[in-house]
């Protein structure tokens, strides 16, 4: 392959990671869910909640707290590899979603979803290009990376 685009935190041997753009994540739930189940006050409270998890991200959710990084292993009520499914499920009151900002932005603006755990931000996650070391200087690869960085800086 010439270039792989992804947002995984871990990298692989024999490749170069080139960050393209930040992909902010948020924790949110519907007012109906919060009325029925209450709002978590600390990330550890999430183990008692219905959690809606993005399958590629997995059930380990990380937060930056006042005393450092907090890692929580949740038991997902629903896991999906489609972010829109998680947003719709959260809006329907099915649980707390760990989701990309761009997917939840409209629902947050309208009040269909509410932001949770503002004192525990989610660590930065970046969309990145993963390039085999042998292909990193290829003209076509460099042209694609420039186009992606330009486009994504305007989109997100």
Q: State the sign of the Cα–Cα–Cα–Cα dihedral 13, 15, 18, 19.
A: negative
pLDDT recorded at residue 22: 86
**pLDDT higher than threshold 70 for residue 10:** no
- For a pLDDT cut of 90, what percent of the chain falls above it? 74
pTM for the complete prediction?
0.81
**pLDDT for 68-100, tens place per residue?**
999 999 999 999 999 999 999 999 999 999 999
Task: Compute the average pLDDT of residues 11-21.
Answer: 86
Q: What are phi and psi of 52, to 5 degrees?
A: -110, 110
Helix extents (H) in the chain: 31-37, 83-91, 101-110, 139-155
């Amino acid at each position: 392959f010439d270039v792989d685009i992804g947002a995984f935190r871990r990298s692989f041997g024999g490749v170069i990671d080139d960050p393209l753009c930040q992909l902010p994540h948020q924790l949110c739930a519907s007012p109906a869910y919060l009325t029925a189940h209450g709002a978590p006050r600390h990330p550890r409270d999430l183990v008692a909640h219905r959690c809606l998890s993005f399958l590629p991200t997995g059930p380990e959710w990380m937060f930056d707290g006042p005393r450092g990084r907090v890692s929580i292993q949740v038991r997902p009520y629903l896991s999906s590899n489609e972010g829109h499914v998680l947003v719709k499920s959260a809006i329907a009151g099915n649980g707390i979603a760990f989701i990309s900002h761009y997917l939840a932005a409209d629902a947050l603006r309208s009040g269909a979803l509410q932001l949770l755990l503002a004192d525990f931000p989610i660590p930065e996650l970046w969309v990145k290009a993963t390039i085999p070391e042998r292909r990193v200087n290829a003209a076509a690869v460099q042209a694609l990376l420039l186009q992606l960085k330009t486009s994504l800086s305007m989109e997100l």
